[in-house]
Amino acid sequence: MWDAPGIVGLPDDREEPRVIEFDAVHKEYPDGTVAVERFSLIVPSHRVVALVGSSGSGKTTLLRMVNRMVDPSSGTVSIDGVDVRSMDRVKLRRSIGYVLQAGGLLPHRSVADNVATVPVLEGRSRRQARADALGLLERVGLDTALADRYPAQLSGGQQQRVGVARALAADPNILLMDEPFGAVDPIVRDQLQAEMRALQADIGKTIVFVTHDIGEAFALGDEVVVLRTGAEIAQQGAPAEILANPADDFVASFVGAGTAQRTLRIRQVDGRDVVVDGDGRPTGVLER
Ligand SMILES: Nc1ncnc2c1ncn2[C@@H]1O[C@H](COP(=O)(O)OP(=O)(O)OP(=O)(O)O)[C@@H](O)[C@H]1O
């Protein structure tokens, strides 16, 4: 839906590709901190790109440039070739899903209302928005009996699911996810990652996923971008490429954070190939 020339939201056409392009973006905050130095990247349509790097490497700054919560000091971010700075900020934000670590939920609104907020702002009737919200809650694995609770009455994992449902409510083509599973325990985190993969196989959004956990980046990213300070790209590629061929010592040490789990060997036990980790602990059996 294109409005006045120059000030536009994203066209409302689900078939459109959704390519995000960062072109030589640079961000210096008013206090002089240079968070991002001349960063360029193309995020292909319908793919998950995971930005991974240690704290302060500029991941959140990059993500927020896409929905204009942060404007670059120089360079451009564009969606399907249109500079986001020519788009209306509010419309742009409503047309892009955003999931945050703490869920980013409104504490004084029920779960259903949290999910339905943007569709109602966009003109959907309350009744329809609530019905859609219940459908979305089911889709992200939540019991709809929780719909009338408040966020504080949910577990961390449940809150994250609501956050994902809320981000999907306006049916955006682009999802920005900032450490969405960072605050939950490792078991729930694995579950959420598996569910996210299944959901993405179905919905095929263009997703930029920020994490400091290389395991999570490998689990979810079609492509992984390893960042150093200043959002300098240390390596970019498919998870298997990065695992097999770390570009340098920095990437190798990042990837090797869980070396014992990553360096697997095969040991013959009773005629079967048992896979053992770097410490010799069995982790599975190889199927032939
Ligand atoms: N509003 C701000 N004003 C000044 N400096 C900022 C601001 N926001 C972020 N920074 C700085 O910019 C750098 C990059 O921050 P950013 O939040 O993008 O990194 P990050 O990789 O997402 O970190 P984390 O994983 O800790 O969230 C950091 O040095 C940070 O302190």
Cβ of 54 below 6 Å from ligand 1: no
Lowest-confidence region among 16-25, 63-72, 99-108, 230-239: 99-108
Question: CA–CA separation, 34 vs 55, rounded Å?
Answer: 14
Q: Where are the alpha helices (DSSP H) in the chain?
A: 59-66, 89-94, 111-121, 126-139, 156-168, 186-203, 214-220, 239-244, 249-255, 259-262
Instruction: Give the N- to C-terminal CA distance of the chain in Å, as an integer.
Output: 52
Domains belonging to the chain, first-starting first, are 1-95+173-241 (3.40.50.300), 97-171 (no CATH), 246-288 (no CATH)
| Ligand 1 atom index nearest CA of 64 | 18
Residue with tokens 């949290």: 114
Q: What is the pLDDT of residues 29-40, one digit of tens each?
A: 999 999 999 999
User: Is residue 211 pLDDT above 80, yes or no?
Assistant: yes
Question: 26: exposed, middle or buried (C-beta count within 10 Å: 0-12, 13-18, 19+)?
Answer: middle
Cβ of 268 below 6 Å from ligand 1: no
Residue nearest to atom 7 of ligand 1 (CA): 29
Strand partners, 130: none
Categorize the per-residue pLDDT at 10 as very low, low, confident or very high, splitting at 50, 70 and 90. Answer: very low
Mean pLDDT over each residue of the chain, to the nearest integer? 87
Neighbours of 85 (CB within 10 A): 14
What is the interface pTM, i.e. ipTM, of the complex? 0.96
Cβ of 32 below 6 Å from ligand 1: no
Task: Between 38 and 280, name the one with better pLDDT.
Answer: 38
Cβ of 86 below 6 Å from ligand 1: no
pLDDT for 73: 97
| Ligand 1 atom index nearest CA of 227 | 21
Q: What is the pLDDT of residues 118-171, one digit of tens each?
A: 888 888 899 999 999 999 999 888 999 999 999 999 988 899 899 999 999 988
Query: What separation in Å is there between the alpha carbon of 56 and the centre of ligand 1?
Result: 5
Length of the chain: 288
Query: What separation in Å is there between the alpha carbon of 37 and the centre of ligand 1?
Result: 13
How many Cα atoms are found within 13 Å in the side-chain-facing hemisphere of 195?
A: 20
